[in-house]
Structure 1
Amino acid sequence: MVFGGTVSRRQFLATGSAALGALALPPALAEQATPLAAATGPDRWQVLARILGDGLTRPTDSDYDGAAMPNNLRFAEVRPAGIAYCRTPEMVADTVKWCRDYDMPFAIRGGGHSYSGFSTSHDLIIDMRDMDTITADAATGRVTIGAGVINGNLYEALDANGRMITHGRCPTVGAGGFLLGGGIGFNMRRLGMGCDAVLSAEIVTADGEIRQLSDEQDPDLFWAIRGGAGGNFGVSTAFTLNTHPADAAMTVFRIVWRRNVLGIATALFEVADTAPHGLGTRISLGGVTPTTGARGRQVPLTLLGQYAGSKDEFLALIAPVLAVGAPDFSDIQERSYWDGQAFLADAGEPAWFRERSAFLGTAPSRDFLAAGIDAMASWPGTGAAANLVFFQTGGRINEIAADATAFVHRDSHWLNVVNLSWSEDDLSRPHVVRHAMDWQDALYGEVNGGGGVGAFQNFPDASLVDWRQRYYGANLPRLEAVKAKYDPTNLFRYGQSI
């Protein structure tokens, strides 16, 4: 059965404002920011137009503004000279050859959700939103997706076939980028990372060849794309995934505490860390400014997630937490699997944001949590929000060797993220954002001092100096060898490319 994507990326982004400003670009993105598009005149664009037909969008086209807009509006002023909409692997290959022949820098875009703006460019964007077919094999449970598939389309197809995988919450994220960087979600403790489901893949490499990847075909490159992050080795154009039967019934929950948060958090991490692998959680502490704190507002603790079992079983599991203190808000429901995912979904609307991540080998200590709560109570404030987030890892992730795929972070129990967002109004007062970023960096330093190691390559952080080691650890030398073999001239490059 074949499912075509129903949401047009161009239509989705067209709702954004083309006039939105952005803060200054970080140094990593500035490496991409030298426009070359006008260096040799229009002839090369005419050549590309012949390759793409009606698939080339330029700044003078009516749909350009929406098409050029990234999800992270920090990079809204990065205006590409062209957007190449490819519909087939052959079109991707011809476009890659054109970029090589004309020395044209480019970025690769699936869903456009790169946290550090690596899916946009002042030069060319290779956009695969039209490569959005989904083919499901009912006999094997395998699903093959094009590189332009976004999560929402994949969820619909999996739901229709009664299947599930490890997936995220945001329906507009590109499934390809999600898989290439590892891919986290509430199923990862029982099913593994998203990249662990990849059985085979298709990629266009720097020589313009379309390669089929598996454990038998180009196995070193197949190893590298499972966690080696997008845009390093070629343009990935398709993936075949192993899926699992979706739960007929499960429990989803959102629970918030505002009192005795340190005691609740301590008990909650103790319970979660030893829970069955069917529990998937996201625990977060919300930012409160000193001004609002003086008015009585306290740092909130939010538990969001799912449990592969009944509501009564879940309540029994968290009974030690509830004994410490009753929640201020609680919504716990039994639903079918995909109905439950609608409860958990995050729309992922375009916004201004910055995230910094590290992995924790054990649950955070009481002292760590106390310091985190104090930091969240001293958030200087923006027009949006700040959170200290803990995604629960462990389980099946730990059972796979660190060198089995390029995703090296196999010994963690939690992924800790310090996130910060701001509003359009804050663009006229950049000192507010700079102050908030300084606060974010200080808290991130405390995370690292409290046992945080590495960083999640799916959450690229342009502020990292040692990003190669933090993203890839002991797998970095092998990744560099694969890069040298398949892209010896470094055609595929961006601010944090291997």
Structure 2
Amino acid sequence: MLNRRLFLSGSAAAITALTLPSSFAQALIHDEMGAVDRWERLRGIAGDLLLRPEDTGFANAALPNNLRFEAVRPEGVVYCNSPQMVADVINWCRDNDMPFAIRGGGHSYAGFSTSHGLVIDMARMDEIAIDAETGVATIGAGAINYEIYAALDAAGRTTTHGRCPSVGIAGFLMGGGIGFNMRRFGMACDSLISAEIVTADGQIRTCSETENADLFWALRGGAGGNFGVATSFTLQTHPAETSITVFRIVWRDKVLDVASALFETIDAAPDTMGTRVAFGGINPTMTGRGRQVPLTLLGQFAGSKEDFLALMAPVLAVGEPDFADIQEAPYWQGQDFLAEEGEPAYYRERSTFHTSVPDREFLAQAIDHMARWPGTGASANLVFFQTGAAVNAVASDATAFVHRDSRFLSTANLSWSKDDTARPDVVRASTDWQDELYALVTASDTKGAFQNFPDPSLTDWRERYYGENLARLSAVKAAVDPTNVFRFGQSI
């Protein structure tokens, strides 16, 4: 039987609900009736955009890209579709002391895009608009590279971007963002004009050089997830070439001689050259078959094939490649050639920045170590991304991205198979080998680590990621998130 008090309270809730968004209306009415738990209140905000473990599609929605962290399963995944919905969800998390992770593409090397609580997925906020006259692009924080590439291609534009189609823009931009264009256009974060972000108090803030300037500074290199949930970015793009030269060249003979010449040659190349140099690990079976450590050069040159070959002449004179694919192509067709799929896998990466060109003594030690990889069911590599030029033209304190004096960024990376997870001794032997490789690398002329490649094994990660900018970043964090709502394993 409906008593008068319940009728009046229910009526008041219904009347109040008429003045509120429908998501709040449903949640409020249920609250007044005292009939729901916290997840039902979140359902009132998100509706069908909330997935729980019993819902169809939850297992795939909860799966991280780095399968090392597949056991970290959230209690829910919510797909936000507007800045206001993001604010409502953050308020819910704060009010319910619910741990959460923000997910764009979900490619966090350290598993920071998943949580035992709630995953806030931004995939629905993927709108992209590019001004035909100015080349200024406004991109939703849930957009992934594949969508951004298509929009830039249609507009005849480019910027500093990565190679993996499923990587999200938000984490990429806020951690700095590397790519083959960085030597001529700078880090991806250097192109940022403004950003919109929801902070811990549920406010939707616009950030630029003139508005919330300290927060805007922090968003350019202070890494994702520290200061709020970014909802959109506005950045400057550049005209894309009608033709570039892309290349993949592999040497398996005279590798030390070739590598020594290669690093000297590309370091002297113009900023229109972007390269990735990789040494592959070989396991005992490969060594027994006479295999040598392979050296692979991948990249692009904003010029002709003829001019590229002229630049590479000193290297090609040292050693003939085992394989070479060099071709001219329209800019975005060339990116298809360079792309890596980035499918979910088990992997671990350790990074550092090189302030000088790797010398022959170091390269000899690195190649020897690569030849002693214990082996897994997948691969191991020592990779060098060429930096310098426009990356270093920006002062180290002009943005939060502090790494402005490097020539190369290296990563000691390791991956293993599903079968290897049942053989922990195999994985452990290779991770120990990887740590020894990282110790070898960091004993050379290196400093710091790349915040876009978070490494849970670092104990001094704050200093390595942020260097001299850490104090200012900590001050920005204290101002916008004083109660540390945005927290994870390596949050500021």
Give me the TM-score of the superposition, normalised by structure 2: 0.93
Structure-to-structure mapping, 1:261-300, within 5 angstroms: 261-300=255-294
Which structure 2 segments of 5+ residues have no match?
A: 1-34
SS in 2 for 1:131: coil
Give the residue type in structure 1 aligned to 2:316: L
In the alignment, the residues of structure 2 paired with residue 247 and residue 267 of structure 1 have an alpha-carbon distance, to the nearest angstrom, of 29
1:249 equivalenced with 2:246 (yes/no): no
Structure-to-structure mapping, 1:135-146, within 5 angstroms: 135-146=129-140
Give the residue type in structure 2 aligned to 1:60: E
| RMSD of aligned Cα (Å) | 0.8
In the alignment, the residues of structure 2 paired with residue 485 and residue 196 of structure 1 have an alpha-carbon distance, to the nearest angstrom, of 23
User: Which residue number in structure 2 is paired with residue 228 of structure 1?
Assistant: 222
User: Which residue number in structure 2 is paired with residue 36 of structure 1?
Assistant: none
User: Which residue number in structure 1 is paired with residue 334 of structure 2?
Assistant: 340
Which structure 1 segments of 5+ residues have no match?
A: 1-40
User: Which residue number in structure 2 is paired with residue 193 of structure 1?
Assistant: 187
In the alignment, the residues of structure 1 paired with residue 335 and residue 286 of structure 2 have an alpha-carbon distance, to the nearest angstrom, of 33
In the alignment, the residues of structure 2 paired with residue 405 and residue 386 of structure 1 have an alpha-carbon distance, to the nearest angstrom, of 33
Report the Cα offset of residue 291 of structure 1.
Answer: 2.8
User: Which residue number in structure 2 is paired with residue 467 of structure 1?
Assistant: 461
User: Which residue number in structure 2 is paired with residue 383 of structure 1?
Assistant: 377
1:132 equivalenced with 2:126 (yes/no): yes
SS in 2 for 1:125: strand
User: Which residue number in structure 2 is paired with residue 454 of structure 1?
Assistant: 448
Query: Could you report, residue by residue, the CA deviation over 1:421-444 in whole angstroms, capped at 9, with x for unpaired residues?
Result: 000010110110011000000010
User: Which residue number in structure 2 is paired with residue 497 of structure 1?
Assistant: 491
In the alignment, the residues of structure 2 paired with residue 379 and residue 426 of structure 1 have an alpha-carbon distance, to the nearest angstrom, of 15
- RCO higher in 1 or 2 (8 Å CA, sep ≥ 6)? 1
User: Which residue number in structure 2 is paired with residue 16 of structure 1?
Assistant: none
SS in 1 for 2:419: helix
Report the Cα offset of residue 452 of structure 1.
Answer: 2.1
In the alignment, the residues of structure 2 paired with residue 258 and residue 42 of structure 1 have an alpha-carbon distance, to the nearest angstrom, of 65
SS in 2 for 1:291: helix
User: Which residue number in structure 2 is paired with residue 330 of structure 1?
Assistant: 324
SS in 1 for 2:414: strand
SS in 2 for 1:324: coil
User: Which residue number in structure 2 is paired with residue 61 of structure 1?
Assistant: 55
In the alignment, the residues of structure 1 paired with residue 276 and residue 89 of structure 2 have an alpha-carbon distance, to the nearest angstrom, of 40
Query: Could you report, residue by residue, the CA deviation over 1:256-311 in whole angstroms, capped at 9, with x for unpaired residues?
Result: 00000000000000001111000000000000013311211110000000001000
SS in 1 for 2:153: helix
Give the residue type in structure 2 aligned to 1:159: D
Report the Cα offset of residue 408 of structure 1.
Answer: 0.3
Give the residue type in structure 2 aligned to 1:281: T
Match 1:208 to one of 202, 212, 227: 202
Report the Cα offset of residue 136 of structure 1.
Answer: 1.1
Give me the TM-score of the superposition, normalised by structure 1: 0.91
SS in 2 for 1:468: helix
Structure-to-structure mapping, 1:31-70, within 5 angstroms: 43-70=37-64
In the alignment, the residues of structure 1 paired with residue 129 and residue 285 of structure 2 have an alpha-carbon distance, to the nearest angstrom, of 54
SS in 2 for 1:357: strand
In the alignment, the residues of structure 1 paired with residue 424 and residue 93 of structure 2 have an alpha-carbon distance, to the nearest angstrom, of 36
Report the Cα offset of residue 42 of structure 1.
Answer: 6.2
1:308 equivalenced with 2:302 (yes/no): yes
Give the residue type in structure 1 aligned to 2:332: W
Runs of 4 or more off by more than 2 Å in structure 1? none
Match 1:182 to one of 152, 157, 176: 176
Report the Cα offset of residue 214 of structure 1.
Answer: 0.4
Report the Cα offset of residue 419 of structure 1.
Answer: 0.1
SS in 2 for 1:478: helix
User: Which residue number in structure 2 is paired with residue 416 of structure 1?
Assistant: 410
Give the residue type in structure 2 aligned to 1:48: L
